[in-house]
Amino acid sequence: MNERIIDLNEIAPKEFWGDHDSHLETIKKYYPKLKIVARGSTLKAFGEKEILDEFEVRFQRLMQHFTRYNRIDQNVIDRVIQSNSQDEQRMPDQDKILVHGIGGKIIKAMTPNQQLLVDTVYKNDMVFAVGPAGTGKTYTGVALAVKALKEKQVKRIILTRPAVEAGENLGFLPGDMKEKLDPYMQPLYDALRDMLPPSSLEDYILKGIIQIAPLAFMRGRTLDNAFVILDEAQNTTHSQMKMFLTRMGKSAKFMITGDPGQVDLPRRTISGLKEALLVLKDIEGIGIIYLDDKDIVRHRLVKKVIDAYKMIENQD
């Protein structure tokens, strides 16, 4: 009897097999002549070679669908197994979709400047995304990183930001180092949770495929084959920014995001982001995108709040 062994690789078995293995049972019904056994992330199928060949092709397509959309259901299984086409039907504007988040949520650029940011990242290995709060800088960056990881353009995602903001000192906060740092990293976790199933995200973090760490932890490293995002870059100093930018290794993408209007550094300390924008603006291969109030995609009141504060700041 012929045997095929298929590993789900980085797909979360619980979500893929379905509640009480409902998805697996549906698949089995289409192949009554095969003996199909699933254990954890491994599937074994036994039977005639011709049937196994067809089964493997269609099962691989189911895995590809799950990797792209983060979900499968009864209708998807029926369509993929019954269809003669090798390719899933493309959705409108499929090329503009970055990733499909939890529950099939479509994540893509929401404004012309966000789309310009996406296009610039595709064309350059280092990109600065600058703009006020709510313009989707970090969220878009994380989506691009997840897309690159899923498409095997990179082997790792590394997300970092300065650990000390608004004058707070980690040494005076309760808990161990992870407990002290997690609140600073929360926006990065939030974005990832929108785009990856919980078990997959946890597995990626445990394996070091996704790393979330304060900027100080980047010192001395060479970051190869990675999509690296420095968030809240306006709170870096000259030496911190220089240290980070020189960590860039082979086959790496670097994205630096920040809001020059929200610098929390001590007075008379030059923002590493502001300096870098001046020093690096004419270097080929480095892209700089400025987002503005028109790109705010949070609650409509966010734009009004920013406008109100601008009026006060302009009077000073």
Q: What is the pLDDT of residues 33-55, one digit of tens each?
A: 999 999 888 999 999 999 999 99
pLDDT of residue 124: 96
Is pLDDT larger for residue 238 or for residue 87? 238
User: Which DSSP symbol is given to 164?
Assistant: -
Residue pLDDT, tens place only, 238-256: 999 999 999 999 999 999 9
Token output for 250: 């082979």
pLDDT of residue 164: 57
Q: Which of 278, 252, 157 is nearest to 208 (CA)?
A: 157
Mean pLDDT of 250-271: 91
pLDDT of residue 90: 44
Q: What percent of the chain has pLDDT over 70?
A: 88
CA 287/CA 301 separation, integer angstroms: 30
Residue pLDDT, tens place only, 152-200: 999 999 999 887 543 445 554 455 555 656 677 788 888 999 998 888 8
Residue 216 has pLDDT above 70, yes or no: yes
Q: What are phi and psi of 156, to 5 degrees?
A: -145, 155
- Look-up of token digits 């920040």: 258
- Strand, helix or coil for residue 234: helix
Q: How far apart are the first and last CA of the chain?
A: 82
Lowest mean pLDDT among 87-101, 102-116, 139-153: 87-101
CA 125/CA 180 separation, integer angstroms: 32
Residue 63's pLDDT band, with cuts at 50, 70 and 90, is confident
How high is the mean pLDDT of the chain? Answer: 85
Mean pLDDT of 280-307: 84
H/E run at residue 286 = strand 286-290
Region of 302 on the Ramachandran plot (φ > 0 left; ψ -120 to 50 alpha; else beta): alpha
Edge-to-edge strand list for the sheet holding 156-161: 210-214, 156-161, 226-230, 253-258, 126-130, 286-290
Residue 61, amino acid: R
Residue pLDDT, tens place only, 125-156: 999 999 988 888 999 999 999 999 988 999 99
DSSP E strands, 149-242? 156-161, 210-214, 226-230
Mean pLDDT of 69-94: 66
pLDDT of residue 84: 62
* HSE, side-chain direction, 13 A CA sphere, residue 45: 23
Residue 154, amino acid: V
- Checking 239-247 for CB contacts under 8 A at 24+ apart, the result is 239/272, 240/162, 240/215, 240/272, 241/272, 241/273, 241/275, 241/276, 242/272, 243/218, 243/219, 244/160, 244/215, 244/218, 245/126, 245/276, 247/218, 247/221, 247/222, 247/223
CA 12/CA 196 separation, integer angstroms: 10
Highest mean pLDDT among 14-18, 47-51, 80-84: 47-51
